[in-house]
Chain A
């Protein structure tokens, strides 16, 4: 398909300077903990220390003079963190369902006194459940059915089965969660804070405080990373600060320290994924039967939608006429799991991609051949029956990655070394994957996101609730607007994500900020250009006065989705990618080290190639952490390693050189052809690494693949006999 370009493109496709770049490198950028508020109190959250039970008493073993103390009885509205199911209290009333559940809030102007305050809570404990698979309480079940499963198995030459397990993962943004709530004279509240979705917080506060929407204002401050961890959780911490601030009638700041952030906030859902697959001798998939179980933790949060994306991606970027996927998200007595970059897809694509290598092995095929035979092509249908258009690039990314890395040569070379009797310390693996951009199914229609452009003396100002959290939202949106209007990039300003000033553009999640919100902005700019005609901004303002253009999301007419049957066009567009990694295993410590990494991503159009590559490099590194290092140890329902000392994320020394190759195959309804890019990079590294371990002689089916697991997974007792 031809690339759509126009001669007017001056910013799009170029590495213009990041809007807030200078502020970030000089230390001038204002994160929540950097801002001074007069009369500020510090807030603290008293949390449950047991995983399950009833609260029988609360005792304050300190001099409470000067303290503001809040419990559930101080909630003026509904005591919930409003999201999907409204099952999670903002402050526990009688029952606690997990360790670190908030019960009482304290505020004081002296931090030392605040931290020294001793609150004693008595409980009548009940028996906790930590096993999602046997949990009778389900937050959500989803079924996907395509074709005739029995006929597919009947047509198979072989059946390959497997069970794959994935652990929790902590987002580990380097800036912990934090907010400041400021009570307003009119009884309203303003909350400033580190967050991805100001309007989620806004809605949660109106429900919790029982306030009309115009009395609640939420302002995003510079945000030091999110990765999904600041999608829904800020609604909780903002609620806490707001309750304290209203009672104290003074501003209240709550900024978590690292330990509290890791103990209490959401993580990636752990899961168990089972595959039973019918395959023909030539590698063709004839039937895929997939069972997905996600551990939702103690409350529903976003588990239903995480599961949705998980099951839709569970069969991978492959054509198969007969597919059955059964998914469920279950309750356990652990802190609630929630959004994390990839949102269910990294879990299920880990499983299917490791399973594909096991299918290849069972048939005596190589990992490339089995994927070439099955990769989705334009015109094929996905598991939900979505017919793919010309922007399907599964084969292209596979071939590009294989050629670029000379994959088969290394694969055969290392294989040869092993078959000659020497177990290998090295392996090479690949993964082929895809990721849907935007909300699933009818999600974007329900969101009905809006974006605005306001004419200024110098040019134009962007008004969106989409947040800059490091990925480059402000910069990329300004590029789209600049080129659509035909004005310089520097003439485009971006308003703060302040609900008092910007319309609700939906949450900054789901790889939608460029493709979906960027497209709405592009339509605003198209109309503004028409309205201006030959006038400059200044001339227009003098003659006609202020000009603000607002547009709402419009669903492309060809998309349709059936929520009840889970059939149809799950996403407007998909990105496609292939990762190749070489891994070395230390014969003494059993530690695996990735030594070279290649990531080939097709993302429609890279609006800002350097920012897009930054997403791929960063997501890949985070995926390597998921694959090898990042283990959340849960002991009695409590994270036992809630510190950076023993929860290990990749450092410079653990991260290999990452070669990034971006392919462009434009999506008709994306701005300048762009699809989403933020999440896809984290889907591929874990299966590629584990497939490389398999190639080196280690049958790993669970991540993180820590040295202990690798040692246990060796296929020959003399794995290093050489």
Chain B
């Protein structure tokens, strides 16, 4: 399969039905994308495909042929949301954080609280009660 991963072209030979999550973690050694449930409920494995947030545990590798995939590593640690999640307490245990940040990136700049709540409804966090995540996104 060929696709663009975090801005770089990649060519991989993997089973077409292998989960994108496993392709990223095992074949590309990018372990920032996490598995929380494996059934598309928790959002810990959220990545962007052509800018849209998806649960990478539900996406077969074949599906991203020719697409652009962005993971937490693709933000390079320089995205203002990453800094904001540290400064405003949006990250506690950190396991939902990469997925949460990727879902937040997809919301674009300056989302309203209602839009954030709807946009992150597929990303579970058990630590924060979400308040600090909203603060991080609104203040970045």
Contacts and interface: CB of A to CB of B under 8 A. Distances in A.
Nearest to A653: B121
Interface string A9-44: 000000101101111111111110110000000000
B88 interface: yes
Interface string B69-90: 0011101010000110111110
A27 B98 contact: yes
Given A469-B93, A620-B129, 9 more contacts: A18-B91, A26-B82, A174-B124, A224-B94, A621-B128, A651-B121, A651-B124, A652-B116, A660-B131
Given A25-B82, A257-B38, A617 B131 contact: yes
A21 B85 CA distance: 8
A24 B94 contact: yes
22 contacts: A24-B97, A25-B82, A27-B73, A171-B126, A174-B42, A175-B93, A222-B94, A224-B34, A227-B126, A258-B36, A258-B39, A471-B92, A610-B88, A610-B89, A618-B128, A643-B37, A644-B39, A649-B126, A651-B122, A651-B124, A653-B117, A655-B130
Interface in A466-501: 469-472
A658 interface: yes
A621 B127 CA distance: 9
Most interface-central of B88, B97, B130 (chain A CB within 10 A): B130
B8 interface: no
A224 B86 contact: no
A30 B118 CA distance: 30
Contacts of A172: 126
B124 A470 contact: no
Given A27-B71, A225-B127, A470 B93 contact: yes
A657 interface: yes
A620 B42 CA distance: 19
Contacts of B75: 26
Given A29-B94, A31-B95, A618 B88 contact: no
B131 A27 contact: no
Give the 8 A-B residue pairs with the shortest CB-CB distance, closest first.
Answer: A27-B32, A470-B93, A224-B95, A24-B94, A621-B129, A644-B41, A21-B86, A617-B129
B33 A17 contact: no
Contacts of A258: 36-39
B107 to A, nearest CB: 12
B48 interface: no
Given A225-B127, A652-B116, A652-B120, A614 B92 contact: yes
B20 interface: no
Interface string A641-659: 0011100011111010110
**Interface secondary structure of B, over-half rule:** loop
A30 B29 CA distance: 12
A219 B108 CA distance: 40
Contacts of A614: 89, 92, 127-128, 132
B139 interface: no
B104 to A, nearest CB: 11
Given A26-B32, A27-B32, A618 B129 contact: yes
A645 B91 contact: no
B138 to A, nearest CB: 13
Interface residues of B, number: 51
Contacts of B37: 258, 643-644
B112 interface: no
B33 A25 contact: no
A174 B44 contact: yes
Nearest to B32: A27
Nearest to A258: B37
Nearest to A22: B86
B101 interface: yes
Most interface-central of A17, A31, A225 (chain B CB within 10 A): A225
Nearest to A27: B32
Interface string B39-60: 1011010000000000000000
Given A26-B32, A610-B88, A658 B131 contact: yes
A224 B132 CA distance: 17
A657 B131 contact: yes
A611 interface: yes
Contact of A655 (B77, B95, B129): B129
B139 to A, nearest CB: 12
B93 A224 contact: yes
A615 to B, nearest CB: 9
A472 to B, nearest CB: 8
A31 B71 CA distance: 17
A618 B92 contact: yes
Contacts of A171: 126
A218 B127 CA distance: 25
Nearest to B33: A27
A67 interface: no
Most interface-central of A29, A31, A611 (chain B CB within 10 A): A29
Most interface-central of A17, A22, A34, A174 (chain B CB within 10 A): A174
A26 B127 CA distance: 18
A227 B93 CA distance: 11
Contacts of B61: none
A26 B73 contact: yes
Nearest to B119: A652
A644 B39 CA distance: 8
Contacts of B82: 22, 25-26
Contact of A618 (B33, B72, B98, B126): B126
A223 interface: yes
A173 interface: yes
Nearest to B120: A652
B30 A617 contact: no
A25 B97 contact: yes
A469 B95 CA distance: 10
A193 to B, nearest CB: 14
Given A25-B97, A27-B72, A614-B132, A470 B86 contact: no
B124 A621 contact: no
Contacts of A29: 94
Nearest to A611: B89
A472 B127 CA distance: 11
A249 B41 CA distance: 37
Contact of A645 (B41, B73, B101): B41
Contacts of B125: 174
A415 interface: no
B23 interface: no
A613 B130 CA distance: 12
A470 B82 CA distance: 17
Given A610-B89, A618-B126, A622-B126, A22 B77 contact: yes
Nearest to B77: A26
A618 B131 CA distance: 8
